[in-house]
Amino acid sequence: MSNFSHEFLKFALDREVLRFGEFKTKAGRLSPYFFNSGLFKVGNDFIQLGEFYAKAILSSGIQFDVLFGPAYKGIPIVVATAMALAKKNVDVPISFNRKETKTHGEKGDIIGNDLSGRVLLLDDVISAGTSINESNELIMSNGGRLAGACVALDRMEQGNTRKSAIQEVEEKLNIQVIAIANLENLVSYLGIDIENQAKLKRVREYRDKYGI
C-alpha cells in the first residue's frame, strides 16, 4: 500500500497537517514531525480524507456494522468516511460521542446510531492508547464490540513496553488496527526527493531512538 500511503502523505503535507520541525509529544519526546488532523479545514480536504480512510478500511477486510468517531477529531473523520464508503455502495451507520453527557432533550452521550454490533473506531493517531481504551469501554457499556480501529498515521513508536502503542492495543483488546500510512512509509516517501534529505536524516534518527 506504499503508493497509496505516499499519496496520503503528500496530501497531508500539502495541507500542512503533517509538519516538520521540533514538537514535544505526549510522551515528552522531541519529535521532528507532527500530524494533526484538526488542521484539515475545507470541504475538499474532508472529501479526500474520507476517500483515504474508505480505501484503507475496504482493503483491510475488517468486518463491521457501525463506524464510531470519538470526540472531537474523530467526528469529522467518521462523517467523511461514511460518505466516501456510501459512494462505493457501502452504506453504513455512524456514531459519535459527546465529551459531556447531555441531561436534557434527547439526553445521553451518543449521537447517531447506537453502538450495538461490531464497531469500527476511526481516529487520527494513537499516541498512548488512552483514547481507544476509553472508546472500548464506552462501546461495551452500550452493548457493542470493538471490531477494530483505523487511524491516519501509525508513528510506530515504543509505548509502555518495547512494542508500539498500536501493538499494545491490538494485544490487549484482540483487535486489528490499520493505518493509512506509517513511519516506514514516511521514511520511504522522504527518500524519494533529494530536497528532503535533511528531514529524512532527523526522522531516521528519531526512529532509531524510539521506533519499534
Active-site residues, by number, are 102, 104
Return the biggest CA–CA distance within the chain: 58
Of the candidates 102, 97, 81, 100, the one whose C-alpha atom is nearest the C-alpha of residue 139 is: 97
Distance CA 112, CA 65 (A): 13
SS (H, E, C) 113-169: CCCCEEEEEEEEECCCCHHHHHHHHHHHHCCEEEEEEEEEEECCEECCCCCEHHHHH
